[in-house]
Every structure is written in structure tokens, then in C-alpha cells.
Amino acid sequence: MDKVNVPELFGALVFDDKEMKARLSDDVYASLKKTIDENAKLDESVADAVALEMKNWALENGATHFTHWFQPLTGVTAEKHDSFIEPTKDGGVVMKFSGKELIKGEPDASSFPSGGLRATFEARGYTAWDPTSYAFIKDHTLCIPTAFCSYSGEALDKKTPLLRSMQSINKQALRILKLFGTEAKYVRTSVGPEQEYFLVDKAAFNLRPDLKYTGRTLFGAMPPKGQEMDDHYFGVIKPRVTEFMEDLNEELWKLGILAKTEHNEVAPAQHELAPIYSTTNIATDANQVTMEIMKKVAAKHGMECLLHEKPFAGVNGSGKHNNWSIGTDTGINLLSPGKTPYENAQFLLFLCAVIQAVDDYQDLLRLSVATAGNDHRLGANEAPPAIISIFLGDELSAILDAIREDKPYEGTKEVKMKLGVDTLPDFRRDTTDRNRTSPFAFTGNKFEFRSLGSSNSIACCNIMLNAAVAESLRQYADELEKADDFETSLHNLIKKVITDHQRILFDGNGYGDEWVKEATEVRGLSNLKTTADAMPHLLDEKNKKMLLNHEVFTESELQSRCEIMLENYVKTVNIEGLTMVDMVRKNYLPAIEGYLYSLAKTASLMKQVSSNVKCNYEVSTMERLSELTDYVLDSVKDLEEALSKLKALEDVFESSAFVRDELLPKMETLRKYVDEAEMLTPQKDWPFPSYGQLLFSVQ
């Protein structure tokens, strides 16, 4: 590879702070900065000036078009390109772009899911510029990050509620900081998402209709080798994958994305990429772009990048870890124990806010990562269970115990932990990061939420996390603001929160069956196993009340989101079911039949030649395969019947329960018979590439 000058390359395709500062007048820059940092309203004349410079910059960098780039509820991003051209009187064109075009767009919104939020006569929605996330150039198009709303003001996207949740946590956290006398203009949450993915050879991928239509294999017997040798995790990266990673990094760096860590993951053909963390909405935009660029770069290298949560049964699926923290504009990480006793007390209160939030809103966190794909991972001994709990590590747990029980903490010289007086020890990462089975782990100065699926937008869980923590902070601020003796009230409050929310803290093995029993039967934690179980809780009174109070969602937005997410689940599994039927009827059954024919013919010919031959292999294989084809036929008919029943159901809650209880089990049965038949049939007679051919296709 040619030598790359990374600092020069970095952000080359981003209209970032450096470009703004260099190109905008001081006044315009200052005014825009105020909007970005403090949410101040944007002046229209400022927008015109920014648009002009943005366009000039874009043209210099090869762009011909612009688009409002947004994140509708489909799960992927959307864009509609317009060129900058405007005709002139002499028959030519000039390149134009106005402040109005920058601020607001009007895509035809009728084809995006809205869950009934837009009356059919009002198909239009509008997009509004999010100046806090930089514009960038992709495929000769200036992409302007935007929020997407209906004309009645309802959010039709993931960015709007995310920004609202960030505002809410900012507001409540500032109230708390004021009580501690900590100076800050604003508080932001930050996220570093670790992204897992698979790479398979494009030619092999193209031969698998299930991968093409659904992103995962719906059939496939295990190859002789899976991940049992533990030889892939952190193993030497294959040359073809290295080339892909180099190319990917360059593309991401150009887009100002802080691609940092890359390594092989546990399953064969599985890898991970982690960027350096950034402000949540920027990290969200960047993660969406990253997923898109991964697919594009893979295609350039003759590979397919699979972002599905469970592309292959029998080996690990892919997740995404959401590393989350909260900090001030002055550079304080509020989840980092400070150097002074006072900072420690502040840290403990923010820690409490997270503990309480996760306990009070376990269901919201669970449903924020619920999709048909992720249901295959959670609780399957490769990812955290569907039960949400928090891991704190020995040191922090011991400190909380000491506070809760008013007993001495051995890590300090003092006899008793007194908040605001004693200094906490520094938490070293190595003492806090040992448990990989916990869904929500404290890792020294941040929390790592590990339940996300690889294709999930990180917006969803961060909306819930921010809102839930904002709610804890609101309660604390309400109480502490009216306290006469701040320190005593603070101590009592922290002690009470730790006592009341003890049940959510669990440092043991999250993969064990004993934990499921203890969590659900003794501790009363919720265990929402599937999307169909989890999603309806979005409309629980307690959850609605909190989300409405913090103005993160409106009532109708919640209603529509719940329906859209369930619809998505139903549609996804429905497509999988139809794909299975298609593959079985058109390929698997005919292929097995062909082999049966050759077995029968061979056996009968052999017997004609000699009456001494037994034909044990031919006959026993034929008998079992013939039996299996009967089972396959019965199961495919069963599945077809269920699919047509599903079609007749109108209520989405009913449909999703049907998918969970009827469709998915029938699909599993069908797969079991086909996979057994695969083991009895020669590779050359099998219609699709095997797991072995897919998982070890990239050398």
C-alpha cells in the first residue's frame, strides 16, 4: 500500500470546525458555534453565509450534488440527491445552494414507516439541519445530517428523539453540577461503539438466496471446524482482510471517523472495528456511515460484509458494544472518580443515577435493542442474557457495600466511608473489566452496554439510556435543591439509592442458568426474551410517563414506534419464512430427489450384476433421506400454512406473538431436517455452498 499521511487525510471530506473557522467570517463562525455548543437558535443570514461556504468547499472537493441525510425508522439511512445546478439565461448553469436549502428539505415521506403518524393526505415530512453533526462528502454528494419530522412536528426518525434525550440529560445534569459548585456550560454524553461483522467471499455469498434476502443463513449444517479452537480471536489477520481494513480505515478517516482498533473476533470470518468515542449524536451518525462504508469497501475487495446479528447458527453472532459516559464541556468525565473527596461524592451520585436508571427502566433498555436478528443472540451463551443487570467490579461494589451498611471500607485508611470527606481509590480498568457476560458493565470511567445487535442503530439505546439517567438526576436535583444540609442529604440519598436498587447489581456469571432463576424468581428482574415480548412495554404507563415528561417522545410517537418496530419484526421473519419455502421447494427437495434417484439406480444396477452385494450404504442412505424428504415436505407445508395465516392477521401485536409462537418454531423444525439431509448428500449434489465454504471462504 502507498504511504498515507493520516493527519492530512483525516477529515478531508468533512466540513468540520477547521474548515468553518477558515472559511466563515468571525461573526458567522461565532454565531454558528453558539448554535452548535449551546443550542442557540440559528439566524437565517448565518445560514446563507454557511451554505455559500459549504457549497464552495463541496465543489472544491468534487461534489456535484447535495442531500439531506437522515435516519428514518427503517434502520438504514436515507438520502435524495439534488444537484447544485441552476440554469442561467444564456442556457448554461451555475452552482447554487441557499441557506434555506441547507436548513430545511422536503422529501416525499410517504414511503417511510410512520406508523400512522402522517395522515395519507399529508405525505410530506421535512428534514431539518442538525448543525451539531458536521456535513461530509460521500459519492460526490454533500451530505447534510438532518432530523426528519412530520409537518405536525412529530419525529419520524431516530435523530430527533436522540437530540431531545441529550438535551434532557444536559438540563438535569447541570442542576446537579450547580449543587456541587462544579462549573460547566453544558453536559454531553459520549459513545464509542465497537462494531462486529463477518466477511465472506462475494462469489459464495451470491449463491446463497438466504444471505441475499435476509442477511443470515436459514439452513446449513455445521462444518467439522467452528470456533472451538479459539484460534481466530485476536489471531493474525489474513492478507485479504488486511487490505480491506486498510482501505476501510482510509475511507473512514477521510470522513472524519476516528477508526482506531481492529481485530479478529471469536468466530471464523468475524472481525471488529472500534472508533475512538465521540459525542453521542456524532457517534451515531458515524456508526451509520461506518456500516455503509464497510459494505462498500468489502464489495470492492470481492467480499460481502455481513452485519446481521446471527448470520451463522453454531458460531457466535455479531453484536455492538455501546461504551457510554457523561462529561462536561470543561473536560470532566462524570463517571470518573475524581481526585478530591468532593469530586468522589459527585461521581457516586452520577453512578447512582445510572444504577437507578438501569433498574427502573430495564425494559426500555431491553426493547431498545430488540430486533428479530438480535433475538437469536441474547441469552444464547454468546451474548448477555435478555435480563438486564449491572456489573460494577469488586472494588466499587465493596465501596457501595460500605456506604450501604455504614461499615468500614478496607481500601481506605479511614474507619468509615464518609462522603465528601474520604477519597476513593482510582479504579483501574483491569480490576473492572473482567466480566464479559454482563449486559451492562462499569469499565473504569464509562459503562459498556453489550446487548446491542451488530446492525442496531446506536440511537435507540442511547435515547433510552439518556432519558432514564436524566430522570434519576431530576429526582435527585428536586430533592437536593431543597435540602438544608447538602452533605447529609447527599449521603442519605446515595445510601438509599444503593439500598433500593441492590437487585440490579450482579457481578457473577450472566450466562448461567442459575442466574436466570435467581434474577427472575428471587430478584424480580424482567426477562423479555423476544422482540414480541419486549416491544409492547414501550407503552407501559411508567415508561410513557417518563419519556413524555422529559419530552423525548410524544404519546403518538411512542405508539407509532412500537407498531413500526413490531411490524419490522413480523416482516423480517415473514421474509425469512418465504425464503425457506422457496429454497426448499425449488432447490433442496429437487436436489435430494436427484441424489435419491442415483442411489436407487446404483443399488438396483449393482444387484442386477451380483446377487451377493448388500448395498448397505446405498439402501440405508436412501431410506433415511427418503424419510427426511417426507419430513421436509410436511414441515414446509406446515410453514406455508402458518405464513398464510400470518397474512390474514391484522393486529400487529397478534402478528408478532404468532411469529414468535408459530412461525419461528416451524422454521426451526424445517431447518433441522434439511440440515440432516445435507450431512447425507454429496457436496456436488447440494445446491448451495456449505457453512465450511462460507466461513472459510476468505483466505
Residues that bind ligand ADP (CB under 6 A): 190-192, 194, 261, 274-277, 323-325, 333, 445-446
Integer angstrom CA distances of residue 204 from 200, 297, 304, 537, 691: 7, 17, 9, 41, 10
Least CB distance from residue 244 to ligand ADP, whole Å? 19
Which residue, 219 or 324, is less far from Mg ion as judged by CB? Answer: 324
In the chain the first and final C-alpha atoms are separated, in Å, by 19
For residue 586, what is the DSSP state? I
- Give the single-character DSSP code of 90: T
Work out what residue 275 binds among Mg ion, ligand ADP, none; the CB cut-off runs from 5 to 8 Å by kind. ligand ADP
Q: Which of residues 399-438 bind Mg ion (CB under 5 A)?
A: none
Instruction: Give least dist CB 286 to ligand ADP, A.
Output: 11
Give dist(CA 353, CA 439) in Å, integer: 17
Q: 524: exposed, middle or buried (C-beta count within 10 Å: 0-12, 13-18, 19+)?
A: exposed
- Three-class SS of 208-222: CHHHHHHCCCCCCCC
**How many other C-beta atoms lie within 10 A of the C-beta of residue 669?**
16
The minimum distance between CB 422 and ligand ADP, in angstroms, equals 24
Measured from the CB atom, is 216 or 450 closer to ligand ADP? 450
Q: How far is the CB of 325 from ligand ADP (least distance, A)?
A: 3
Residue 418 C-beta: closest distance to Mg ion, Å: 34
Q: Which does 572 bind (CB under 5 to 8 A by kind): ligand ADP, Mg ion, none?
A: none
39 backbone φψ class: left, alpha, beta (φ>0; ψ -120 to 50): left
If the CB atoms of residues 168 and 445 are measured against ligand ADP, the closer one turns out to be 445
198 contacts which partner out of ligand ADP, Mg ion, none, CB within 5 to 8 A by kind?
Answer: none
Chosen from ligand ADP, Mg ion, none, partner binding at 78 (C-beta under 5 to 8 Å by type): none
Q: For residue 119, give every residue at least 6 positions away whose Cβ sits within 8 Å of its Cβ, in sequence order, or none.
A: none
SS3 136: strand
Please choose which of ligand ADP, Mg ion, none residue 442 contacts, taking the beta carbon within 5 to 8 angstroms, the exact cut-off set by kind. none
306 grid coordinates = 455481513
In this complex, which beta carbon is closest to ligand ADP, that of residue 197 or of residue 277?
277
Pick 178 or 436: Cβ nearer Mg ion: 436
Find which of Mg ion, ligand ADP, none residue 145 binds, CB within 5 to 8 Å per kind.
Answer: none
Distance in angstroms (rounded) separating the CA atoms of residues 613 and 615: 6
Integer Rg of the chain from CA: 28
Comparing CB distances to ligand ADP, the nearer of 190 and 456 is 190
Q: At what angle do helices 458-481 and 341-360 cross, to 10 degrees?
A: 120
Residue 190 interacts, among Mg ion, ligand ADP, none and using kind-specific CB cut-offs from 5 to 8 Å, with ligand ADP
Determine the residue with CB nearest ligand ADP.
Answer: 192
Task: For Mg ion, give the closer residue by CB, 130 or 194.
Answer: 194
Torsions phi, psi for 275 (to 5 deg): -90, 170
366-405 residues near Mg ion, rule: CB under 5 A: none
Look up residue 49 and give its amino acid. Answer: A
Q: Which is nearer to Mg ion, 321 or 377 (CB)?
A: 321
Give 294 or 663: the residue with its C-beta nearer to ligand ADP.
294
Contacted entry of Mg ion, ligand ADP, none for residue 537, CB cut-off 5 to 8 Å set by kind: none
CB of 319 to Mg ion, least distance (A): 10
Q: In this complex, which beta carbon is closest to ligand ADP, that of residue 190 or of residue 697?
A: 190
Number of residues forming the site for Mg ion (CB under 5 A): 1
User: Of 134-142, 203-211, 314-322, 604-612, which part binds Mg ion (CB under 5 A)?
Assistant: 314-322
State in angstroms the smallest separation of the CB of 435 from Mg ion. Answer: 11
CB of 309 to Mg ion, least distance (A): 17
Q: Which residue has the cell 446515595?
A: 494
CB of 175 to ligand ADP, least distance (A): 22
**Helices H / strands E in the chain, number of each:** 25, 18
Give the one entry of Mg ion, ligand ADP, none that residue 492 binds, where binding means its C-beta sits below a cut-off of 5 to 8 angstroms depending on kind.
none
| Phi, psi angle pair for 510, to nearest 5° | -75, -10
Pick between residue 336 and residue 475 the one whose CB is nearest to ligand ADP.
336
Among Mg ion, ligand ADP, none, partner that 85 touches (CB below 5 to 8 angstroms by kind): none
> 132 to 151, contacts with Mg ion by CB under 5 A?
none
What residue 214 binds from ligand ADP, Mg ion, none (CB within 5 to 8 A, per partner kind)? none
Mode of pairing for the β-strands spanning 447-453 and 303-306: unpaired
Question: Could you tell me if 535 and 569 are in contact, meaning their C-beta atoms sit under 8 angstroms apart?
Answer: yes
Is residue 271 a contact partner of residue 440, using CB atoms and an 8 Å limit? no
Pairwise CA distance, residues 580 & 576, whole Å:
6
| Least separation in angstroms between CB 277 and ligand ADP | 3
Minimum CB–partner distance for residue 46 and ligand ADP (Å): 31
Nearer to ligand ADP, 32 or 286 (CB): 286
549 binds, among Mg ion, ligand ADP, none (CB under 5 to 8 A by kind): none
The cell 451470491 sits on which residue? Answer: 206
In the complex, what is the shortest distance from the CB of residue 292 to ligand ADP, in angstroms, rounded to a whole number?
19
**Alpha carbon distance 218, 488 (integer Å):** 59
By beta-carbon proximity to ligand ADP, the closer residue of 22 and 276 is: 276
* Identity of the residue, 321 or 501, whose beta carbon is nearer to Mg ion in the bound complex: 321
User: Residue 446 binds what, of ligand ADP, Mg ion, none (CB under 5 to 8 Å, by partner type)?
Assistant: ligand ADP
Nearest to 155, CA basis, from 499, 575, 449, 551: 551
Going by C-beta distance under 8 Å and a sequence separation of 6 or more, which residues neighbour residue 321?
193, 194, 448, 449, 450, 452
The contact pattern for Mg ion, residues 317-356, with x = CB under 5 A and - = no contact, is ----x-----------------------------------
Nearer to ligand ADP, 67 or 287 (CB): 287
Contacting residues for 475 by C-beta, under 8 A, at least 6 apart: none
Sign (positive or negative) of CA dihedral 478, 495, 188, 470: negative
| Closest distance of CB 448 from Mg ion, Å | 5
Q: How far apart are CA 194 and CA 335, in angstroms?
A: 19
Rounded Cα distance, 126 and 112, in Å: 12
Give the cell for residue 609. Answer: 450384476
From the CB of 444, what's the least distance to ligand ADP, in Å?
Answer: 8
The distance of closest approach from Cβ of residue 466 to Mg ion in the complex, given in angstroms and rounded to an integer, is 20
Strand partners, 247: none
- φ/ψ (deg, to 5) at 139: 50, 50
Q: Which residues contact 77 (CB under 8 A, 6 or more apart)?
A: 69, 70, 71, 288, 289, 292
| Residue 4 grid cell | 498515507
Beta-bridge partners for 192: 323
Burial class (CB in 10 A: 0-12, 13-18, 19+), 510: buried
By a kind-dependent CB cut-off of 5 to 8 A, residue 333 interacts, out of Mg ion, ligand ADP, none, with ligand ADP
How far is the CA of 277 from the CAs of 190, 257, 391, in angstroms? 6, 10, 21
Residue 288 CB, nearest approach to ligand ADP (Å): 16
Task: By CB under 5 A, tell whether 308 contacts Mg ion.
Answer: no
325 binds, among Mg ion, ligand ADP, none (CB under 5 to 8 A by kind): ligand ADP
Q: Which residue lies nearest Mg ion, judged by its C-beta?
A: 321
Task: Decide: 84 and 66 in contact? Cβ < 8 Å.
Answer: yes
Selection from ligand ADP, Mg ion, none that 261 binds (CB < 5 to 8 A by kind) is ligand ADP
Q: Which is nearer to Mg ion, 197 or 686 (CB)?
A: 197
User: Which residue ranges make up the site for Mg ion (CB under 5 A)?
Assistant: 321
